[in-house]
Structure 1
C-alpha cells in the first residue's frame, strides 16, 4: 500500500510541472492575442469613418484586419483545444478546420489584391479611380473567397465520399489526426504550390514595376517608394505565411519522435512564431505607416486623450497615398 502511494505521489509530481508549464504557456500566448484583438477592433472601428469607406486601399486593409482577427481567434481556439487535449464532435472539428483553412487561404490571396491596388495607384495613377471602384474592389474580394473555398471543399468531398478512417464520433481535433489519407497531403502540396507561386509572382511583379516607376524622374518618387515598401511588407507577410505551412509537418514529427513535454514546447514555439506574431504585428505596422489612418487610430486607441489634427488627416485622405 505504501509503495502504491509512493508511485502515485511520484506520478503527481511529474505531472504537476507539465500542468504548470502548459498553463504558463497558455497565458503568455493568449494574453498578447487578446491585446491585439483589441488593437484590431480599434482599427476596424477607425475604418468605419466615411472618409475611409470609399477608398479601395482602406477597404482591402479592413478586409485584411478582419481576416487577421478571425485567424487570430481560430489560432487561439485550436491552440487551447490542442494543449488541453479536448475531444470534439466530428462535425464541430470539421467546421473549425474548414474555417481555419478558408481564413488562412483568403489572407494569403488578399496580399495579391493589396499589391495590385498599389501597382495600379503608382503605375496608372490616372486610371486608378476607374480600375479600383467600390464595386470592383468588392468583386475582387468575392473572387478571392470563392477561390479559397476550392481546397476545403475538395477535402470535404474526399472526407465524406471516400474516407472511412475516421469512424469515431468524438476525436482529438487537428489536421494531422483528422485528415490521414495520403490524398490530403497531395491536395495540401498542390494547392500550396498554386496559391503561393501565384501570389508570389504577383507581389514580385508589382514590387519590380513600382521600383521602376520610383526611379523615373517624371513620377512622384515619394509615393512610389512608400508603395514599394508596402509591397515589400506584403512579400514578408507571404514568406511568413509560406513558413507556417511547415508547422503541421514539424508538429507531426515532434509528436512521433519526441516525448509529450518536448512536443508541446515545439508546438508552443511554432504557434508564437508563425501564428501569433505575423497576425499581431503586420496590421499594426501597416496601419501606423499610413499617416491619415494612424492619426485617427491613435485618437480612438487612447480614448480621445491624444488629440488628432483633423485637417491634416483629411488632406492625406484626399491624396490617397
Structure 2
C-alpha cells in the first residue's frame, strides 16, 4: 500500500511539473512571436526618414521599445515566479526596480501620444513648431526621469532602513519589499500617475471631439485622432488592470493550493500582461495606412511589392 501511494504521488508530481513546463513554454513562445512582430515594426520605423523625424512616429517607436522591454521583464519575472526559482537579493532588486520604471514609462508615454494628437488637431498651425524632433525627444527624456523617481525611492529605502537579510529569495514585491512604507509609496505613485495620465487623455479626447463637431473641414482626421486617443484610454485601463496581478498573486499563495495558484497565475499573465502589451502596438500600427502597408511588406519578406510602392508614394506626398 505504501509503494502504491508513493507511486501515485510521483505520478501526480510528474503531471504537475509537465503542466507547469507546458504553460511556461506556451507563454514564452507566444511572447517570442510578439517580440518578433514588435521587432519588425521597429525595423520598419528605421527604414524611412519621415518615420524618424515626425513626432507621431517617434512616440510610436518609443512605445514599441518600451512595450518590448516591458514584455521581456514581465516574462523573466513570470518564469521566476511560476517555477518558484530563488535568486540573489540584489538581482531581484534590479529586476523589480527596472520593471517598475519601464512600466511607469509606458503609462506616461500614452499621455505624450495623446497630447501630440491634441496639438495636431486643435492647434494645427503650431503643430510643426511645438512637436519638433528635439522637443519630442526632450519630452521622452523627462518621462524617463519622472518614471525613475519611484524606483530610486525604493532603492534608497531598501539600502537605508530595510532589514531583509536573506541572500536568496523568491523574487516578488511581496517577498522583497516587506515594509509598510513600500506599499504606501506604491499607492501614492500609482494614484498620481494614473490620475494625471487619465486627465490628459480625457482632456485630449474631449478637445478633439469638440473640434470634430465644429470644424467645417478635415473632420475625418479629427474623428480618426479621437479614436486614437480613445485607444490610449483603453490601453491605460489595461495597464491599470495589470496592477491586479500582484494583488492576485498575494492572495492565491496564501489561500489556494499549488495547482490552482499555477492556473490563476498563468491566466493573469496571459490576460493582463501579454495581451495588452502585444495587442496595443499592433492595433495602433495597423491603423496608420502609411506605416501598416510598409510593415506588411517587411513582415512578408518583401512579397507585397506593390503595397510598398504605394506607401512610398503616400509618404512622399506627406512630406
Please give the TM-score of this superposition, normalised by the length of structure 2. 0.96
Offset, 1:51:
2.2
CA offset at residue 319 of structure 1? 6.5
Q: CA 1:120/1:319 → structure 2, altered by over 3 Å: closer, same or farther?
A: farther
Cα distance, 1:274–1:234 mapped onto 2, change above 3 Å: same
**CA distance, structure 2, for counterparts of residue 106 and residue 217 of structure 1:** 34
User: Cα 1:14–1:309, aligned 2, differ >3 Å: closer, same or farther?
Assistant: closer
Q: Which residue of 2 aligns with 1:162?
A: 161
Answer whether contact 1:214 1:221 (CA < 8 A) is retained. Answer: yes
CA offsets, 1:236-293, max 9 Å, x none?
0000001111111111011111111111111111100110001111111000000000
> Once superposed, what is the RMSD of the aligned Cα atoms?
1.5
The separation in 2 between residues aligned to 1:319 and 1:217, in whole angstroms, is 24
The equivalences for 1:144-155 within 5 A come to 144-155=143-154
1:249 to 237, 247, 250: 247
Q: 1:55-109 CA deviation, whole Å, 9 max, x = no partner?
A: 0000000000001111111111111111111111111111111111111000000
Mean CA deviation greater in 175-184 or 232-241: 175-184
- What is the match of residue 234 of structure 2? 236
Unaligned runs of 5+ in 1: none
Q: 2 CA distance for matches of 1:231 and 1:316?
A: 24
Please say if 1:83 is aligned against 2:82: yes
- C-alpha distance in structure 1 between counterparts of 2:200 and 2:162, whole Å: 36
Contact 2:82 2:265 in 1 (8 A): no
**Mapping 1:250-265, distance limit 5 Å:** 250-265=248-263
Alignment partner, residue 95 of structure 2? 96
Secondary structure, aligned partner of 2:214: coil
Do structure 1's residue 270 and structure 2's residue 268 form an aligned pair? Answer: yes
> How many residues were matched structurally?
318
Unmatched 5+ stretches in structure 2 = none
1:182-217 residue CA offsets vs partner (Å, 9 max, x unmatched): 111111110000000000000000000000011124
Contact in 1 for aligned 2:89/2:167 (Cα 8 Å): yes
Q: Following TM superposition, by how much is the alpha carbon of 1:13 offset from its aligned partner in structure 2, in angstroms?
A: 1.6
Residue pair 1:295, 1:308 contacting (<8 A) in 2 also? no
SS at match of 1:215: helix
Which aligned pairs between 1:1-321 and structure 2 lie closer than 5 A?
3=2, 5-49=3-47, 50-164=49-163, 166-310=164-308, 312-314=310-312, 316-317=314-315
